[in-house]
Structure 1
Amino acid sequence: MNKKRNSKNILDSMMLAAIFIATAYWILDSILNIFFFNKFNIIAELVGTDLYNIYIRIVVLCLFIIFGSHAQASINKFRRVEKSLKEGEERYRTLFEYNPIETITVDHDARVTEYNLVKANSGDKVPKIGDIMYKDYAGKHKINMYNELMECIRSNISKEFPEQIYNGNVLYIRIAPFSKGAIITALNITKQKQLQTQLQQSKKMDAISTLAGGIAHQFNNILSGITGNTELLQIEFAGNKKINKYSDRLFTLTRRMTRLTSQLLAYARGGKYLEKHISISDLVKETLPLLKHSIKRSIKVIMNLEKDSPIVKADATQIQMVFSAVMNNAAEAIEESGSIRVSLQKKDVDEKYALQHPGLKAGQYVQLTVEDDGKGLDKETKERVFEPFFSTKLQGRGLGMAASYGIIINHGGWIEIDSELNKGTVVNIYLPVSEETEEVSLSEEKEITDISKGEGTILIIDDEENVLDTSSLALEHLGYRVLTAKTGMEAIDIVETAEEDIDLAILDIGLPDMMGDKVCLKIQELRPDIKVMVSTGYMVEDITNDMKIKAQGFIQKPFSMSQMAMKLKEILGDKKETAS
């Protein structure tokens, strides 16, 4: 490059020198001709006629060569510019035609001059060359896009329109003016908006589920105190009919509250404590008679259940709650008379369907469908139906569908609603088929009523004073010696300094100063023989894997004395028999 540049500089210098000499000669020659009337040529006289003629020819030749080379250079430069312009035009044409965003160009009058391949192959209606943009073509927008386009062309200022709805799609439109008119690009962001909405909904559900879990924990702590004190009252005044009568009422109310907290926990994606292999077909058949009182006689229930439905691993009580909530909603949607169709079938979920439903995996599922011909749901209601306490009723006390969502997701399944106003509603529930084939009969589940007494020393670790007092009295009644601690550090101190053996620690995971898993680890380091039973109003998923390994048992608040006695016997065994 430097050599070429130096050669060009030398050539330019030679040309300038030649032009200067030639110009000087002609000026001198012209002056002499004027003054001497062309009778005397001083240069010819000085150098001689022959040399003068040679000199003239050399000058003319030099000028010819120099001007010829510069003419050739100009022609070459012109050709390079022409080639560059052609390449630029081809590059622009390629970029325009193969731009992945739909692109249309218009002139100063907003008439379409061309559009790219993406637009041509979009499957939508394409404009005609000469159509007035946003008048003859694509005129249905919420704002006057024609005026906006003309304003951009007049002002020579680009404009962007982030979310324009057109033919059911969300478009990101950009108008960029140029010398011959404007370039309009329209990016379809419908899928991105849908994903964004799903993400926002997911975050919203996660936030609400965290709140629901916290509320359930507080409720369960209070209910533990009420349940325990009511049981102690019945034991203390066993023969008093009045006390038994009122305490039974308390039990009824606490059971109702316990069911509510179970729904809250279910919504918070927890509470899968009693999973068994069950038949959904049998569960539906056993649940329907319990719902008769809440379904009007004018509503006909039609069942289409497969005889040999696959087995699923699930908590029967929670799945019953889901089915009950869906059936009650279906019944409420039918104002006078109508029908509810309940069907059950095996469903193979492929990868494509699984990708569209977060948390769902490809495989075999049991599909439970509840379809009604009621009034249906509008778009807003359908989007909010899984929110806690959202209801189509005026009082808005519903928790059923929100809890249903949490339960089904927590079981590795999916629940979806398809509904239109005045066209009824279809609810589809998917539960993964279990590899096990052995079914547990639902009727075999019985309530524990026996209270087994034992002996030994138990440390209760809980920050709720009413839970500490009630649990202490209950355990003392069962024959155990009781130590109590309100914080993790207090519990560690007791374990470290106590002279007697501590057989079991009943540990709440939500302590104010330390996490339950750290307390569990520390007290078992101090006394390797101590056993730990986790007691909490939170869900089982909140227990860390390390604690699940180290703890010997788990009990959900609120619990009865009989449940507590059974758990203690299961963990500690019969110490009296061991001693003898």
Structure 2
Amino acid sequence: MSRLNWHQAVLQNMIDAVIAVDRDQRIMLLNPAAERLLGHALQQILGQNFFETFTFATAESRAEIQNSLEMVLVTGEHAVIASQAPLTTKAGSPLQISGNISPIYEHPGRIMGALLVLYDPAAEMEQNLCSEDLLGFIEHAPIAVALFDNSMRYLAASRRWIDDYKLDCESLLGRSHYKVFPETPNHWRIAHQQGLSGATLRDEELFLRHDGSVKWDRWILMPWYESQNTIGGIIVLTEDITDRKHLEQENQDLLEQLVAAQKIESLGRLAGGIAHDFNNMLNVIQGHVGLALLDIDADHPIHQHLTEIRDAAERSTELTQQLLSFSSREEAEPRFIELNQSIEGMLRILKRLIAEEIDFVWEPETAGCIVKMDSSQIDQILANLCVNASDAISGIGTITLKTENRKFDHEFCKAHPEYLPGHFVMLSVSDTGPGIDPATQARIFEPFFTTKPQGKGTGLGLSTVAGIVKQNQGFVRVENQPGSGSTFQIFLPCRRDGKPIPHLEHATRAPVGTNEMILLIDDEPMLAKISREILLSLGYRVIIATSPRDAIQMMLDFKGTVDLLITDVVMPEMNGQELYHALQKLQPNLNVLYMSGYTLHIMAEQGITSEENSFLKKPFSRNELAVKVRQVLQQN
């Protein structure tokens, strides 16, 4: 019910006669009690002068009330009609009235009229609390309301109050509230006493229903007065706001999800920027290692170290590519892989991720374990699960990495709904740590949930694992024995009909150039320098620039023909494609090879499509650069 409706309801149900007049003493409002008392209907006397409408038995009584009314309109002070002024009703019956006059303010400092509250003292019935009007109003009130005397006995209660609190209306009136509710909390007893002392209280509170459910109530408690200075009891109003509270909780949950999504989006942008810059540094490492391997015999002791550096850099390239895909939401590039071979290629890195005092056991499936997914996703799963397993072990322990082919039929899945039917490859990581308590296990896959100390974990590891597995139509199970460790089981669909792409060995001989001139632009000076050295080692002539502006100036200054432009795509001033079009105006037959550490999703925004043959992804090896340069030069 709106505030206006409440005001109307209160006015309509007041026992005392209420008359509102304006500053010219014209009648502007009558309530039903005034119409019954004086015998006039509002529509008959609206706008008429108060003292011309009602007849007073004596001139003295008329003058007394008129003087009081004028004083209220001028000064704003309240006035009391102390004597029982004789008034004649419309029907001609004599009436002795008492009451008071109060100012009505349009806004602070401006009086717009006065309110006369009149009553017939002879007609009062025990403070009128048992009048049919008041009882009717309370009984049919749209909210839960109860009226109590100063001993907290029920005088009246609305139907809503009786229904909400499951009470018997027949035996309620006259009973003490504390006998009706013998377990009334102490804070409510204190609130009742505060109300009986004149305080008005309001709050929101959680209540337990009889059926065991809970509800939220908003309540107001205030005193009612028998006379101007005597409190007769209290009135309590309650409203069920459970639905509103549930809505507020849903909104709070949505807000938290939005904040989490914004965190993930921000993390994605950060990861994308870091991965792009790291790719450039990896490219420098790979370039220098590739050149060093050319000068070292295969049987030299340093050759093996350089090979390890090269392989680790290539593995890191795959991981940074996954970060870039995460930041741009680009689809993964699944292919058939032999899981055991992929894991064995990662074992050296995994052993370095765990503590030295922890034994690492690898138990591969003897039969083939072929899955179809992005190989870098396997690396992510392994790294996250092994790091978590290592963190779970305090001191000496064992981590066991295992693969196994499994098949689940429909009957098994009916009895075990957490499984899916079909052929699967199970990848499991077990540890000998303390295990996971049930409360933690229920939340371990939630984004940003972590049990690690602040600064030691992001809470994204297991949620990333779960997301990758789901993306590849698999599922995850956790077997946990508190005190004896836990096992994470990753089930991925087995692709027995697929043929894994064999691992490509590094070519011993790269295609070389025939003294062609190359203009190379990269805004990372270290990468520009090592790329130049690689191209020189392949038999090309090279000039380099670190900005589009420098590249255009070099083209203007160069007197010969440039056979190939190799340019980064994302650069300040202009992107690679814009630079190529600008240089084409100087040399129309110029060939171009684009290179970038960003994903093809970002390249598409720059106008470079995945079908482009003239695109080289960073970081690249010496052989990859050699092959791509020859392809671009020979196609024209």
Give per-residue Cα distances to partners, 1:272-309, cap 9 Å, x unaligned.
Answer: 7983442xxx633544666789696888778999x9x9
TM-aligned CA deviation for residue 461 of structure 1 = 1.6
* 1:558 is the counterpart of 2:619: yes
5+ residue gaps, structure 1, are 25-61, 69-73, 98-103, 121-127, 136-144, 165-170, 349-363, 576-580
Query: Secondary structure at the residue paired with 1:533?
Result: strand
Match 1:543 to one of 603, 610, 618: 603
Match 1:130 to one of 159, 181, 186: 181
* 1:228 is the counterpart of 2:271: no
Give the number of equivalent residue pairs: 472
Match 1:284 to one of 336, 339, 352: 339
Q: Tell me: higher relative CO, structure 1 or 2? Use CA pairs within 8 A at least 6 residues apart.
A: 1
Does the Cα contact within 8 Å between 1:457 and 1:482 map onto a contact in 2? yes
Does the Cα contact within 8 Å between 1:266 and 1:406 map onto a contact in 2? no
5+ residue gaps, structure 2, are 1-26, 29-40, 63-87, 95-118, 120-127, 167-178, 208-213, 223-234, 352-357, 411-420
Q: Label 1:8 to 1:215 Cα distance change in 2 as closer, same or farther (>3 A).
A: closer
Does the Cα contact within 8 Å between 1:504 and 1:531 map onto a contact in 2? yes
Matches within 5 A, 1:133-152: none
Does the Cα contact within 8 Å between 1:111 and 1:131 map onto a contact in 2? no
TM-aligned CA deviation for residue 486 of structure 1 = 0.8
**What is the rounded CA distance, in whole Å, between the counterparts of 1:251 and 1:105 in structure 2?**
89
AA aligned opposite 1:226: I
Match 2:527 to one of 467, 481, 503: 467
**What is the rounded CA distance, in whole Å, between the counterparts of 1:105 and 1:327 in structure 2?**
65
Does the Cα contact within 8 Å between 2:476 and 2:489 map onto a contact in 1? yes
* 1:217 is the counterpart of 2:276: yes
**What is the rounded CA distance, in whole Å, between the counterparts of 2:163 and 2:297 in structure 1?**
90
More strand by share: 2
Does the Cα contact within 8 Å between 1:224 and 1:557 map onto a contact in 2? yes
**What is the rounded CA distance, in whole Å, between the counterparts of 2:490 and 2:150 in structure 1?**
55
Match 1:255 to one of 287, 311, 314: 311
TM-aligned CA deviation for residue 131 of structure 1 = 6.2
Does the Cα contact within 8 Å between 2:279 and 2:317 map onto a contact in 1? yes
Does the Cα contact within 8 Å between 2:384 and 2:465 map onto a contact in 1? no
**What is the rounded CA distance, in whole Å, between the counterparts of 2:426 and 2:273 in structure 1?**
32
Q: Label 1:384 to 1:5 Cα distance change in 2 as closer, same or farther (>3 A).
A: same
AA aligned opposite 1:491: A
Query: Secondary structure at the residue paired with 2:281?
Result: helix
TM-score by length of 1: 0.58
Does the Cα contact within 8 Å between 1:277 and 1:440 map onto a contact in 2? no
Give per-residue Cα distances to partners, 1:504-562, cap 9 Å, x unaligned.
Answer: 43332443444556545655677665444332334444334343239544333332111
Identity %: 17
TM-score by length of 2: 0.53
Give per-residue Cα distances to partners, 1:333-359, cap 9 Å, x unaligned.
Answer: 6846989685767999xxxxxxxxxxx
Does the Cα contact within 8 Å between 1:503 and 1:530 map onto a contact in 2? yes
Q: Label 1:238 to 1:202 Cα distance change in 2 as closer, same or farther (>3 A).
A: same
Does the Cα contact within 8 Å between 1:533 and 1:555 map onto a contact in 2? yes
Matches within 5 A, 1:409-424: 422=482, 424=486
AA aligned opposite 1:489: R
**What is the rounded CA distance, in whole Å, between the counterparts of 1:417 and 1:109 in structure 2?**
63
Query: Secondary structure at the residue paired with 1:483?
Result: strand
2:200 aligns to what?
156
**What is the rounded CA distance, in whole Å, between the counterparts of 2:539 and 2:193 in structure 1?**
88
AA aligned opposite 2:319: Q
Matches within 5 A, 1:202-351: 202-235=261-294, 237=295, 245-268=301-324, 269=326, 275-278=333-336, 283-287=338-342, 312=372, 314-315=373-374, 317-325=375-383, 328=386, 332=390, 335=397
TM-aligned CA deviation for residue 211 of structure 1 = 3.1
Q: Label 1:256 to 1:501 Cα distance change in 2 as closer, same or farther (>3 A).
A: same
RMSD of the TM alignment (CA)? Answer: 6.4
1:177 aligns to what?
220
AA aligned opposite 1:490: D
Does the Cα contact within 8 Å between 1:267 and 1:404 map onto a contact in 2? no
1:534 aligns to what?
594
TM-aligned CA deviation for residue 441 of structure 1 = 2.1
1:355 aligns to what?
none
Does the Cα contact within 8 Å between 2:521 and 2:544 map onto a contact in 1? yes
Give per-residue Cα distances to partners, 1:203-262, cap 9 Å, x unaligned.
Answer: 333333433333333333233223223333443x366965xx425423422432442353
Does the Cα contact within 8 Å between 2:340 and 2:403 map onto a contact in 1? no
